[in-house]
Amino acid sequence: MDEYQIPDALHERLRNWAHWAKVRRFPSHCRSIEHRYKPEAGDTWESPPARISVDLLDAYDVERAWAYGLPLREKMLLKAHYFQQPVAPTRDLKGAFNAYIRRISRSLGIGKSAYNLSVYRAARMLENYIGETDDRMGGYSPGTKGR
Protein backbone atom coordinates (compact mmCIF):
# COMPACT_ATOMS: atom_id res chain seq x y z
CA MET A 1 0.00 0.00 0.00
CA ASP A 2 1.23 3.44 -0.92
CA GLU A 3 2.04 5.65 2.05
CA TYR A 4 0.14 8.59 0.52
CA GLN A 5 -2.85 6.74 -0.87
CA ILE A 6 -6.14 8.62 -0.71
CA PRO A 7 -8.81 6.61 1.16
CA ASP A 8 -11.25 4.83 -1.16
CA ALA A 9 -14.33 6.73 0.07
CA LEU A 10 -12.68 10.12 -0.51
CA HIS A 11 -11.29 8.99 -3.88
CA GLU A 12 -14.78 7.95 -5.00
CA ARG A 13 -16.20 11.32 -3.89
CA LEU A 14 -13.54 13.12 -5.92
CA ARG A 15 -14.17 10.93 -8.96
CA ASN A 16 -17.92 11.58 -8.61
CA TRP A 17 -17.16 15.33 -8.50
CA ALA A 18 -14.95 15.02 -11.57
CA HIS A 19 -17.67 13.20 -13.55
CA TRP A 20 -20.19 15.86 -12.52
CA ALA A 21 -17.83 18.66 -13.53
CA LYS A 22 -17.17 17.05 -16.92
CA VAL A 23 -20.82 16.49 -17.86
CA ARG A 24 -22.34 19.74 -16.59
CA ARG A 25 -22.38 21.11 -20.10
CA PHE A 26 -24.96 19.56 -22.39
CA PRO A 27 -23.55 18.11 -25.60
CA SER A 28 -24.79 19.73 -28.77
CA HIS A 29 -24.32 19.24 -32.46
CA CYS A 30 -22.85 21.22 -35.29
CA ARG A 31 -24.89 23.92 -36.98
CA SER A 32 -25.07 22.06 -40.28
CA ILE A 33 -27.84 19.57 -41.02
CA GLU A 34 -25.46 16.61 -41.04
CA HIS A 35 -26.59 15.60 -37.55
CA ARG A 36 -30.03 14.78 -39.02
CA TYR A 37 -28.69 12.19 -41.49
CA LYS A 38 -30.28 8.76 -41.15
CA PRO A 39 -28.45 6.04 -43.06
CA GLU A 40 -30.55 3.94 -45.43
CA ALA A 41 -28.98 0.76 -44.12
CA GLY A 42 -30.68 1.23 -40.76
CA ASP A 43 -28.94 1.92 -37.49
CA THR A 44 -25.28 1.31 -38.29
CA TRP A 45 -23.90 3.50 -35.55
CA GLU A 46 -22.62 2.10 -32.31
CA SER A 47 -24.77 2.66 -29.28
CA PRO A 48 -23.65 5.54 -27.05
CA PRO A 49 -21.54 4.63 -24.03
CA ALA A 50 -23.36 3.94 -20.78
CA ARG A 51 -23.91 7.00 -18.64
CA ILE A 52 -22.14 7.20 -15.34
CA SER A 53 -24.38 7.70 -12.35
CA VAL A 54 -23.45 10.87 -10.46
CA ASP A 55 -24.49 11.75 -6.91
CA LEU A 56 -25.38 15.40 -7.47
CA LEU A 57 -25.66 16.44 -3.83
CA ASP A 58 -22.29 14.97 -2.98
CA ALA A 59 -20.77 16.61 -6.08
CA TYR A 60 -22.16 19.97 -4.91
CA ASP A 61 -20.61 19.43 -1.47
CA VAL A 62 -17.22 18.70 -3.00
CA GLU A 63 -17.53 21.62 -5.44
CA ARG A 64 -18.38 24.02 -2.61
CA ALA A 65 -15.42 22.80 -0.58
CA TRP A 66 -13.13 22.97 -3.63
CA ALA A 67 -14.27 26.51 -4.51
CA TYR A 68 -14.21 28.05 -1.03
CA GLY A 69 -11.97 25.89 1.14
CA LEU A 70 -8.74 25.34 -0.75
CA PRO A 71 -5.81 27.54 -1.69
CA LEU A 72 -5.28 28.06 -5.43
CA ARG A 73 -2.37 25.62 -5.73
CA GLU A 74 -4.36 22.75 -4.19
CA LYS A 75 -7.37 23.62 -6.34
CA MET A 76 -5.31 23.41 -9.49
CA LEU A 77 -3.64 20.19 -8.38
CA LEU A 78 -6.93 18.37 -7.68
CA LYS A 79 -8.47 19.71 -10.88
CA ALA A 80 -5.50 18.55 -12.91
CA HIS A 81 -5.31 15.18 -11.19
CA TYR A 82 -8.98 14.24 -11.35
CA PHE A 83 -10.41 15.59 -14.56
CA GLN A 84 -7.80 16.96 -16.87
CA GLN A 85 -5.77 13.82 -17.36
CA PRO A 86 -4.81 13.20 -20.97
CA VAL A 87 -6.05 10.38 -23.11
CA ALA A 88 -2.99 9.16 -24.94
CA PRO A 89 -3.46 8.26 -28.61
CA THR A 90 -0.90 5.49 -28.18
CA ARG A 91 -0.87 2.39 -26.02
CA ASP A 92 1.76 3.91 -23.76
CA LEU A 93 -0.69 5.35 -21.21
CA LYS A 94 1.80 5.12 -18.37
CA GLY A 95 4.38 7.15 -20.30
CA ALA A 96 1.77 9.76 -21.23
CA PHE A 97 0.58 10.01 -17.62
CA ASN A 98 4.16 10.36 -16.35
CA ALA A 99 4.76 13.18 -18.84
CA TYR A 100 1.52 14.79 -17.70
CA ILE A 101 2.59 14.55 -14.03
CA ARG A 102 5.94 16.13 -14.89
CA ARG A 103 4.23 19.02 -16.68
CA ILE A 104 1.74 19.66 -13.86
CA SER A 105 4.43 19.32 -11.20
CA ARG A 106 6.64 21.79 -13.00
CA SER A 107 3.83 24.32 -13.54
CA LEU A 108 2.78 24.19 -9.85
CA GLY A 109 6.31 24.17 -8.47
CA ILE A 110 6.04 20.65 -7.04
CA GLY A 111 8.88 18.18 -7.33
CA LYS A 112 7.90 15.05 -9.27
CA SER A 113 8.75 12.93 -6.25
CA ALA A 114 6.37 15.02 -4.10
CA TYR A 115 3.42 14.77 -6.50
CA ASN A 116 1.63 11.94 -4.66
CA LEU A 117 2.15 13.65 -1.31
CA SER A 118 0.79 16.93 -2.70
CA VAL A 119 -2.33 15.28 -4.15
CA TYR A 120 -2.86 13.43 -0.86
CA ARG A 121 -2.53 16.65 1.17
CA ALA A 122 -4.90 18.54 -1.13
CA ALA A 123 -7.51 15.75 -0.91
CA ARG A 124 -7.22 15.66 2.88
CA MET A 125 -7.57 19.46 3.05
CA LEU A 126 -10.75 19.17 1.01
CA GLU A 127 -12.06 16.39 3.26
CA ASN A 128 -11.34 18.46 6.37
CA TYR A 129 -13.14 21.48 4.92
CA ILE A 130 -16.19 19.35 4.11
CA GLY A 131 -16.15 18.02 7.69
CA GLU A 132 -15.91 21.53 9.14
CA THR A 133 -18.79 22.71 6.96
CA ASP A 134 -20.91 19.77 8.09
CA ASP A 135 -20.16 20.61 11.74
CA ARG A 136 -21.17 24.25 11.24
CA MET A 137 -24.44 23.12 9.69
CA GLY A 138 -25.29 21.02 12.75
CA GLY A 139 -24.25 17.69 11.27
CA TYR A 140 -26.45 18.13 8.18
CA SER A 141 -24.78 17.59 4.86
CA PRO A 142 -26.94 17.46 1.72
CA GLY A 143 -24.58 14.91 0.15
CA THR A 144 -24.85 12.43 3.02
CA LYS A 145 -28.53 12.73 3.96
CA GLY A 146 -30.30 9.40 3.81
CA ARG A 147 -27.17 7.29 3.49
Q: How far apart are CA 126 and CA 44, in angstroms?
A: 46
Task: Name the packing angle between helices 115-136 and 56-69 (round to 10°).
Answer: 110
**pLDDT number for residue 147:** 43
φ/ψ region of 68 (left if φ > 0, alpha if ψ in -120 to 50, else beta) reads alpha
Q: How far apart are CA 114 and CA 65, in angstroms?
A: 23
pTM: 0.68
**pLDDT number for residue 63:** 93
Highest mean pLDDT among 25-34, 38-47, 79-88, 115-124: 115-124
Q: Which residue has the higher pLDDT, 110 or 49?
A: 110
pLDDT above 80 for 130: yes
pLDDT above 60 for 6: yes
Q: Are 116 and 48 contacting, i.e. CB atoms less than 8 angstroms apart?
A: no
Average pLDDT over residues 88-105: 64
